[in-house]
């Protein structure tokens, strides 16, 4: 393995460690020394891999933003049209909740992105974290569901925002208490149904 790959791998390790800690204790309560100790490596070495604590966060947020984008972009329009909107959303939530156990990474990222968006984090991080994409995507999906008569009437964008805000809230609750079982996804989708 080349040196660059080594370094890249180490960077990833740091990122993942930081991600867990940020979600667990919050960005500000996580000290550089905490991350270093958890990796583990010396505090000084952290700055060989990342310019600053904030750059570390920014990097995570960038990854998160890409993930979110690919999430909505990743669904081929033709497939999508065939699936009823409620079935699609339920399926999606099922996947996300399943990750909570098996791929804590994706799950934690979800929680981090929400925390960043809701501020209490350095300004710079914000600009990258706008989850406009997924709101637009879901909003369109909801509109279709409304036309099909399976979703309730009302401003589709507002419904989408509330839907995601609920998901976010529940995921944060789960992140806080690892022993909490995931809810049945249909409970949440019920918010939208007639």
190 binds a copy of itself (CB under 8 A): yes
Burial of 80 (0-12, 13-18, 19+ CB in 10 A): middle
Length of the chain: 194
Q: CA end-to-end span of the chain, whole Å?
A: 56
Of 45, 87, 98, 180, the one binding a copy of itself (CB under 8 A) is: 180
| 159 token code pair | 């419904």
| 115 token code pair | 């925390």
In angstroms, rounded to a whole number, what is the distance separating the alpha carbons of residues 54 and 39? 18
CB of residue 40 to DNA, shortest distance in Å: 7
CB of residue 118 to DNA, shortest distance in Å: 19
Of 29, 66, 124, 148, the one binding a copy of itself (CB under 8 A) is: 29
- Residue 172, CA distances (Å) to 158, 164, 169 in order: 21, 12, 5
98 binds a copy of itself (CB under 8 A): no
76 binds DNA (CB under 7 A): no
Residues forming contacts to a copy of itself in the complex (CB under 8 A) are: 24-29, 115, 117-122, 152, 154-155, 158-159, 161-162, 165-170, 172-173, 175-176, 180-181, 183-184, 187-188, 190-193
Residues forming contacts to DNA in the complex (CB under 7 A) are: 3, 6-7, 10, 30-33, 41-48, 51-54
């Amino acid at each position: 393995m080349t040196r660059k790959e080594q370094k890249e791998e180490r960077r990833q390790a740091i990122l993942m460690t930081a991600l867990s800690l940020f979600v667990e204790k919050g960005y500000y309560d996580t000290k550089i020394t905490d991350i270093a100790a958890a990796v583990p490596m010396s505090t000084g070495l952290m700055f060989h891999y990342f310019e600053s604590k904030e750059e570390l966060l920014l990097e995570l947020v960038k990854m998160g933003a890409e993930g979110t984008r690919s999430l909505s972009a990743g669904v081929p329009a033709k497939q999508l049209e065939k699936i009823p909107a409620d079935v699609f959303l339920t399926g999606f939530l099922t996947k996300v909740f399943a990750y909570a156990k098996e791929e804590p990474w994706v799950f934690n990222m979800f929680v981090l992105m929400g925390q960043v968006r809701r501020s209490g984090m350095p300004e710079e991080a914000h600009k990258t974290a706008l989850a406009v994409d997924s709101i637009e995507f879901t909003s369109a999906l909801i509109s279709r569901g409304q036309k099909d008569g399976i979703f309730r009437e009302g401003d589709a964008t507002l419904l989408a925002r509330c839907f995601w805000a609920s998901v976010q809230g529940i995921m944060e609750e789960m992140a806080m208490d690892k022993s909490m079982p995931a809810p049945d996804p249909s409970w949440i989708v019920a918010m939208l149904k007639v």
